[in-house]
Structure 1
Amino acid sequence: MNMDYGALLPEIVLMGGAIAALLGGSFLPRRRQAFVTWSAIVVACVSAVTAALRIGPPTVFSDSYALDDATTTIRILVPVATAIVMLIGRQSSRGSARESETASLLLLAALGTVVLTGANDLLIVATGFLLATVPLYALIGLSRSSTAAEATMKTYLLGAIFGVVMLFGIAVLVGVAGGSTYPELQRALPHVPAAAAALGFIGLLAGLLFKAGAVPGHFWVPDAAEGAGIGIAAFITTVPKLGALIALARLVVVMPDTVDAPLLVGVLAAASMILGTLAAFWQRNAPRLLGWSTVGQVGFMLMPVAVIGVEPSARPALLTYLVVYAVTNLALFAAIAALPDRTMVRSWRGAAREHPVITGVVLVGLLSLVGTPPTAVFVGKLAVFTAAWEGGMSWLVVIAAAVSVASLFYALRWVSTAFQRPAAPRSRTSAVQLQAVTAVTLGALIIVAFSVPALVQW
């Protein structure tokens, strides 16, 4: 057994930071709670740095935890995204009675996402799933509004149902395979009844699709995006899916040929991108629109997962898409946070004249989600389209291309509204500086990422 505890330093940093934030917030007066938030941001950045510097074996603890390129990428991306989320939500959390609890819960959810990414054992998958999911229930409900209460209840009920189904799937696979690590599953599953392997896979798939926000576990995402605060909405539509999709990709690889996992994942990818895009067409609330958009985006991310067992370019394509999507989605939520009085799409009338830079970020971000050059997600879509086509799923690429064109409708509807004159004169408001700087920085990264050849690794 490789008991290399130093290999888990990024996870240890996140756990220690979460505990310190919770304890520190318990003793600090409310006017000094900001210290906890800024400390949590530093902790997240330190975790990302330790992950970038860490060089170790491919697996540790008897092959139960993987430390490959996928884990390293998410180990860096998730803490950085969490730090950005804290910056995005700084305005709403400032002076809040739950500021330190928010920071602690965000770090715990980030830790669960990282653990889910590196899990090479079904029991660690269950642990990571719970650690990444349970904090979300509290985070969504922190805004104390009626929509937040409804979203919290819906997320909790769906999380409980899909979590139980996932645990059932794990029990089936462990029972028939006689082990829980992925190498053990890969050796044993080809020799077990196909029905048992399929049943276990479907159960696990359901839980991970709930975490990723894909069909059929997507119902909570738009409600949570609308009901939660802007920072929390940015987190739940970005971070949890990063770990869930890598965990699902690992699972598809170990499934035997007796289970047609690629076809099932491909069908669910098509369903997610179609439903998410169509549902976003007529949304009036901007965060809710992005919530439905993220359901559609998960469909694109599932494309390389479906062919990851047969196409070598699928893995780097998936990692590329995860990175560029995270940057794009966080940029859009940062733009909304910079203009907190414009949460409705119609309220963006006149924004192009009053706030041309922030409107430019929204324009670049939405065009990036659609996949138009020269934006970051265009690079990701080109990579996943190529991987899916080379992997034999040309039908899925055709559907994805049609959905990408259709998504122009909701993107242009929002952008065109920003360039219209307001129906009635409204008082000019200043953009929140911290969030505006964050939005502009991320918006610039969307363009820069397009020109970095290193992102395209297929």
Structure 2
Amino acid sequence: MNENPADLAPELCVLIAAVLGLVNGLFLPRARQWWVAGVCAAGLLAGLVVAGLAATRPDLAAFDAFAIDPITHVTRIAVLATTAAVIALAAATVRGHPRETEFYVLTMLSALGAITLGASSDLLVLVAAYLLASIPAYALAGFGKDAPGTEAALKYYLMGAFLGILMLAGATLLYGVGRGTAYGPLRDGLGTAPAAAVGAAVVALLAGLLFKAGAVPGHYWVPDVAEGAPPVVAAFATTVPKIGAFAALLRFGADALPPGTFDWAPLVAVVAAATMTLGNLAAFGQDNVRRLLAYSTVSQAGYLLVPVAMAARGDLAEPALLYYAAAYAVTNLGAFAVVVAVGRDDLDGYTGLLRASPLLGASLAVCLLGLVGTPPTAVFVGKVLMFGAALDGHYAWLAVLAAVNSVASVFYYLRWIVPTFGKPRPGLRPARAPTAIAVALAAASLALGLASGIALSL
């Protein structure tokens, strides 16, 4: 066990930036609260630097509950980078809001919870991380205080609280039958535990993690939050916490469950199949682009669950999930950045976007086709790895179903892309700062795909 606080330097950078931002916001006049965005951005960049340095050192377990290994390294870098993009988007849209400081601080704390989720190797830390990632996000969902935002926040909170209780009950039952909370001792204890008790506990624990991942059956909050919350909040809630949730699922399935006691793969595979299929079917008829993206994220959660199901069944599961999660985060956030830049939620509002703003229109096409899995985008490489993980784990039917769903998703993405080739509608003037961020994220998706060999070797 390592008890050096410096091992948690990236997390400390985020926490210190959040605290400094909150304290500064108490004394800054409203017109200068944008300084808090600078403080938070500096903390995220510092966290990225030290996370990169930490990735060059040997694996270890800090305080016997916080694993520092490749899963944590990717989770840290992906969460910190995407949160920095969210802060940049918010600086252009939230500036001057009476609660501008609170927005940045809540975003930072939820991101910290997402990182801790992915690094947790102890049930107690996992539950605490779930709460830290969730509670600030509930407040962010209702940030606009209008009727849709209030309803979305209420649904988000009630579902998160209920499934969080189930998760806590599952953790308690696992502790009771496994005689430990750290994944190592827990794995040893569960080897002799009754299979029925272990199964019930795992299902209950999955309830909370699947809620954070936006997967069936905890996906109902996703379209409501995506439509009712401010667009920047929707971008954050459907992207950043998912990274930590999927990392936590992979780690739990691989490290905490002994072989033979509970068959993890069939359960998660069925959830993955239901999630990707339901998300695609629900997205077909959507005319609101934010709801379309919401159901798209549900389907993407199904694809991401495929390597989770293959945890401990092959060597491809871990790289497939980590690469796909990072690729999805960049690409999905890029699509939401286009929504922020245009400022319209209806499909007709994007008519002529390619002519009015060629770079923004091209970025939208790259991100949406990237979510399909079109080469050379990063998600394409992630899906190839995901198919490989399913075949490596002898779940060919799941790979076939994922391929069919990927092809079917082309329809609703093209419903959004095709109008961008038309004649520009009057008043189509995308905002400059969000446009620049959308272009940068689309370029990052292409770069990550083209440099996939280098990224995977690292």
Q: TM-score w.r.t. structure 2 length?
A: 0.97
Q: Which residue of 2 aligns with 1:275?
A: 278
Gaps (5+ residues) in structure 2? none
Q: Which residue of 2 aligns with 1:12?
A: 12
Query: 1:282 Cα deviation (Å)?
Result: 1.3
* Alignment map for 1:57-456 (pairs within 5 Å): 58-253=59-254, 254-256=256-258, 257-340=260-343, 342-421=344-423, 426-452=425-451, 453-456=453-456
Rounded Cα–Cα distance in structure 2 between residues aligned with 1:49 and 1:291 = 32
User: 1:175 is matched by which residue type in structure 2?
Assistant: G
SS at match of 1:374: coil
Q: CA 1:199/1:362 → structure 2, altered by over 3 Å: closer, same or farther? A: same
SS at match of 2:180: coil
Q: Contact 2:20 / 2:39 at 8 angstroms: preserved in 1?
A: no
**RMSD (Å), alpha carbons:** 1.4
User: 1:275 is matched by which residue type in structure 2?
Assistant: L
Query: 1:457 Cα deviation (Å)?
Result: 5.3
Rounded Cα–Cα distance in structure 2 between residues aligned with 1:86 and 1:99 = 11
Q: Contact 1:4 / 1:60 at 8 angstroms: preserved in 2?
A: no
**Bigger CA drift: 48-57 or 445-454?**
48-57
SS at match of 1:407: helix
Identical aligned pairs, as a percentage? 44
Q: Contact 1:92 / 1:229 at 8 angstroms: preserved in 2?
A: no
Rounded Cα–Cα distance in structure 1 between residues aligned with 2:52 and 2:90 = 26
Rounded Cα–Cα distance in structure 2 between residues aligned with 1:446 and 1:164 = 37
User: 2:294 is matched by which residue type in structure 1?
Assistant: G
Q: Contact 1:252 / 1:261 at 8 angstroms: preserved in 2?
A: yes
Rounded Cα–Cα distance in structure 1 between residues aligned with 2:3 and 2:107 = 28
Query: 1:371 Cα deviation (Å)?
Result: 0.5
Q: Contact 2:17 / 2:42 at 8 angstroms: preserved in 1?
A: no
Q: Contact 1:89 / 1:337 at 8 angstroms: preserved in 2?
A: no
Moved over 6 A (4+): none
Rounded Cα–Cα distance in structure 2 between residues aligned with 1:136 and 1:306 = 27
Query: 1:154 Cα deviation (Å)?
Result: 0.4
Q: Which residue of 2 aligns with 1:36?
A: 36
Rounded Cα–Cα distance in structure 2 between residues aligned with 1:67 and 1:361 = 35
User: 1:12 is matched by which residue type in structure 2?
Assistant: L
Residues 28-67 of structure 1 show CA distances to partners (whole Å, capped at 9, x for unaligned) of 1000001111221111111111111125553334531100
SS at match of 1:89: helix
Q: Contact 2:62 / 2:68 at 8 angstroms: preserved in 1?
A: no
Rounded Cα–Cα distance in structure 2 between residues aligned with 1:222 and 1:320 = 25
Gaps (5+ residues) in structure 1? none
Aligned length: 454
Query: 1:455 Cα deviation (Å)?
Result: 3.5
Q: TM-score w.r.t. structure 1 length?
A: 0.97
Residues 242-292 of structure 1 show CA distances to partners (whole Å, capped at 9, x for unaligned) of 011111111112223221111100110011100111111111111221111
Rounded Cα–Cα distance in structure 1 between residues aligned with 2:207 and 2:65 = 22
Rounded Cα–Cα distance in structure 1 between residues aligned with 2:91 and 2:9 = 27
Q: Contact 1:74 / 1:117 at 8 angstroms: preserved in 2?
A: yes
Q: CA 1:62/1:187 → structure 2, altered by over 3 Å: closer, same or farther? A: farther
Rounded Cα–Cα distance in structure 2 between residues aligned with 1:274 and 1:218 = 13
